[in-house]
């Protein structure tokens, strides 16, 4: 006898287009309703099938039981004073935080802006890279997300308001799950208008994967997390890439530019007393000057369980000025959602050790 399986109907974004059409017809709809269904859910961020008023009532009524719009469980939701909203979603089991992932909805900072929000999505549950300053890597990789689980993050974010940009900078290393990410982005673009330059994928920079991605007609910009110009230190700060020469990573970045015509952004998490010295700045310039690239400095978001500290704003500004003095273009990105310890990976990390309240699912979910 085979082991009992957990039975749940497949969700809207799990089915391929043919299977979805067949399912919609089986539930009393017409084939073309399948497309409408996906497009409406994505473009409006619809979480409740009853709101799909352009569909026949019988089909609408059948959806929750037979073809759920979403399949994840809403585990937590934090809103910070700056307006960023962080969602924690579990896919494996209600209440289970270990494999939960985070999605952040960041409305424009300026009030009255006509622009939509930037949404930050995750690509893996956990992360195998193990950067010692990052809460997402604590506990290693649990599993790759499936394409529909990435799509679902966009739907949940869209339900909070309009979206005009996406950064793939949540939990996980996107280039280790590129196929699912690309499939998800293709589906998302059916409903949300996200131009090629509106999506940025951040990676620690596996050279061969960058080259493969560049050859696959990527419709996104690339950011590479470099963090230091010194080889020995990079091996410590990005453990899964230990031994991969920085020069090889930069050369893959050059190849990305040659193949796509898009400049790479090099990300640099500024860790007080660790990689924010003048020597670091000068050596970073030596590595990058003359390349078609910009630098994005990210002052470290402290996490209670991690032994790093954030440099003060003057030191951050000095570091930036040193880079610019020598001809690099450098910007500073102060992360949002800090007050609620809702910075990258922290919401999940907080709850992993403790028990979760499974009731939250029914309170704040879909
Ligand atoms: N795994 C990918 C993408 C997710 S992390 C990567 O590492 O690039 C997105 C960015 O957030 C990376 O540049 C990462 O170094 C940075 N980051 C991780 N933890 C951080 C922290 N505590 N404070 C500031 N930035 C952090
Ligand atoms: Fe993974 Fe990126 Fe965090 Fe490093 S910084 S552990 S690669 S998510």
Cβ atoms of 228 and 181 within 8 Å: the answer is: no
Q: With respect to residue 144, please indicate whether it lies within any of the assigned structural domains.
A: yes
Whether the predicted model's global pTM rises above the 0.85 cut: yes
Nearest protein Cα to ligand 1, atom 4? 169
- Hey, what are 286's tokens? 């030596």
**Whether the CB of 173 sits within 6 Å of ligand 2:** yes
- Last-in-domain residue among 69, 96, 117: 69
Report residue 266's pLDDT band, with 50, 70 and 90 as the boundaries: very high
Q: What is the pLDDT of residue 178?
A: 97
pLDDT digits (tens, 9 = 90+) for 269-297: 999 999 999 999 999 999 999 999 999 99
Higher pLDDT among residues 351 and 8, named by residue: 8
Regarding whether 287 and 175 lie in a shared domain, the answer is yes
Q: Which helix (H) or strand (E) holds 213?
A: helix 207-215
* Residue 170 CA, closest ligand 2 atom number: 8
- Hey, what are 51's tokens? 């709101």
Nearest protein Cα to ligand 1, atom 8? 203
Q: What is the span of the domain harbouring residue 38?
A: 12-69
Regarding whether 208 and 84 lie in a shared domain, the answer is yes
- Hey, what are 87's tokens? 């969602």
Q: With respect to residue 211, please indicate whether it lies within any of the assigned structural domains.
A: yes
DSSP line for 223-285? EEE---S-HHHHHHHSGGGTT--HHHHHHHHHHHHHHH--PEEEEEEE-TTTS-SHHHHHHHH
Q: What is the pLDDT of residue 358?
A: 34
CA distance 209 to 202: 13
pLDDT digits (tens, 9 = 90+) for 209-233: 999 999 998 999 999 999 999 999 9
Number of domains, the chain: 2
Q: Which of 308, 317, 303 is nearest to 348 (CA)?
A: 303
Regarding whether 189 and 295 lie in a shared domain, the answer is yes
Pick the most confident of 129-143, 181-195, 246-260, 327-341: 246-260
The whole-chain average pLDDT of the chain stands at 89
- SS3 label, residue 324: helix
Q: With respect to residue 50, please indicate whether it lies within any of the assigned structural domains.
A: yes
As annotated, the active-site residues are: 102, 344
Report residue 94's pLDDT band, with 50, 70 and 90 as the boundaries: confident
pLDDT at 360 over 80: no
Regarding whether 93 and 62 lie in a shared domain, the answer is no
- DSSP label at residue 201: E
pLDDT at 343 over 80: no
Q: What is the pLDDT of residue 28?
A: 94
Regarding whether 225 and 114 lie in a shared domain, the answer is yes
How many other CB atoms are there within 10 angstroms of residue 47's CB atom?
Answer: 16
Handedness of CA 139, 272, 334, 350 (dihedral sign): positive
Distance 28 CA to ligand 1 centre (A): 46
Distance 202 CA to ligand 2 centre (A): 10
Cβ atoms of 195 and 172 within 8 Å: the answer is: no
pLDDT at 263 over 90: yes
Regarding whether 81 and 33 lie in a shared domain, the answer is no
Q: With respect to residue 197, please indicate whether it lies within any of the assigned structural domains.
A: yes
pLDDT at 350 over 70: no
Instruction: List the CATH number of the domain containing 180.
Output: 3.20.20.70
Q: With respect to residue 97, please indicate whether it lies within any of the assigned structural domains.
A: yes
Ligand closest to CA 138: 2
Regarding whether 141 and 34 lie in a shared domain, the answer is no
The predicted model gives 56-65 an average pLDDT of 96
CA distance 50 to 46: 9
pLDDT at 144 over 80: yes
Pocket residues: Cβ below 6 A from ligand 1: 133-134, 169, 173, 202-204, 225, 267, 269, 298, 300-301, 303, 335, 343-344
Regarding whether 177 and 34 lie in a shared domain, the answer is no
Ligand closest to CA 131: 2
Q: With respect to residue 190, please indicate whether it lies within any of the assigned structural domains.
A: yes
- DSSP label at residue 357: -
Regarding whether 102 and 64 lie in a shared domain, the answer is no
Higher pLDDT among residues 341 and 127, named by residue: 127
Higher pLDDT among residues 118 and 340, named by residue: 118
Cβ atoms of 85 and 105 within 8 Å: the answer is: yes
Q: What is the pLDDT of residue 340?
A: 45
Q: What is the pLDDT of residue 76?
A: 93
Instruction: List the CATH number of the domain containing 45.
Output: 1.10.150.530
Q: With respect to residue 362, please indicate whether it lies within any of the assigned structural domains.
A: no
- Hey, what are 187's tokens? 């589906």
- Last-in-domain residue among 69, 98, 114: 69
Regarding whether 32 and 98 lie in a shared domain, the answer is no
pLDDT at 345 over 80: no
Instruction: Please work out, in degrees rounded to the nearest 5, the angle formed at the alpha carbon of residue 217 by the alpha carbons of 243 and 212.
Output: 25
Regarding whether 58 and 17 lie in a shared domain, the answer is yes
pLDDT at 257 over 80: yes
Ligand closest to CA 240: 2
pLDDT at 267 over 70: yes
Q: With respect to residue 361, please indicate whether it lies within any of the assigned structural domains.
A: no
CA distance 265 to 269: 13
Distance 169 CA to ligand 1 centre (A): 7
Distance 124 CA to ligand 2 centre (A): 10
Q: What is the pLDDT of residue 3?
A: 45
Regarding whether 128 and 28 lie in a shared domain, the answer is no
Would you put residue 272 in left (φ > 0), alpha (ψ -120 to 50) or beta?
Answer: beta
pLDDT at 255 over 60: yes
- Hey, what are 55's tokens? 């569909």
């Amino acid at each position: 006898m085979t082991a009992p399986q957990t039975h749940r109907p497949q969700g809207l974004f799990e089915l391929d287009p043919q299977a979805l059409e067949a399912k919609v017809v089986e539930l009393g709809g017409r084939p073309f309703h399948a497309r409408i269904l996906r497009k409406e859910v994505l473009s409006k961020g619809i979480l409740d099938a009853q709101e799909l008023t352009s569909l026949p009532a019988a089909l609408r009524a059948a959806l929750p039981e037979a073809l759920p719009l979403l399949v994840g469980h809403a585990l937590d939701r934090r809103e910070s004073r700056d307006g960023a909203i962080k969602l924690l979603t579990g896919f494996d089991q209600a209440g289970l935080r270990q494999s939960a992932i985070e999605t952040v909805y960041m409305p424009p900072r300026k009030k009255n802006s006509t622009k939509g929000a930037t949404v930050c999505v995750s690509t893996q549950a956990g992360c195998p890279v193990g950067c010692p300053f990052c809460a997402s890597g604590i506990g290693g990789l649990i599993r790759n997300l499936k394409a529909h689980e990435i799509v679902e993050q966009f739907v949940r974010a869209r339900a909070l308001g309009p979206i005009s940009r996406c950064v793939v900078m949540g939990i996980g290393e996107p280039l280790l799950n590129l196929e699912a990410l690309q499939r998800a982005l293709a589906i998302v673009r059916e409903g949300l208008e996200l131009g090629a330059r509106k999506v940025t994928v951040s990676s620690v920079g596996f050279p061969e994967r960058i080259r493969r991605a560049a050859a696959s007609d990527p419709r996104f910009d690339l950011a590479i997390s470099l963090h230091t110009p010194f080889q020995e230190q990079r091996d410590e700060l990005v453990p899964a890439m230990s031994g991969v020469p920085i020069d090889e990573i930069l050369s893959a970045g050059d190849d990305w530019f040659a193949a796509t015509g898009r400049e790479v952004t090099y990300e640099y998490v500024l860790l007080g007393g660790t990689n924010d010295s003048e020597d670091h700045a000068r050596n970073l310039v030596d590595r990058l000057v003359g390349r078609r690239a910009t630098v994005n400095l990210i002052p470290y978001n402290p996490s209670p369980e991690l032994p790093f500290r954030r440099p003060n704003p003057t030191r951050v500004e000095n570091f930036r000025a040193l880079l610019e003095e020598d001809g690099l273009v450098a910007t500073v990105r102060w992360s949002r959602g800090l007050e609620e310890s809702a910075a990258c990976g922290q919401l999940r990390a907080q709850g992993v050790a403790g028990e979760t309240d499974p009731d939250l699912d029914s309170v704040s979910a879909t």
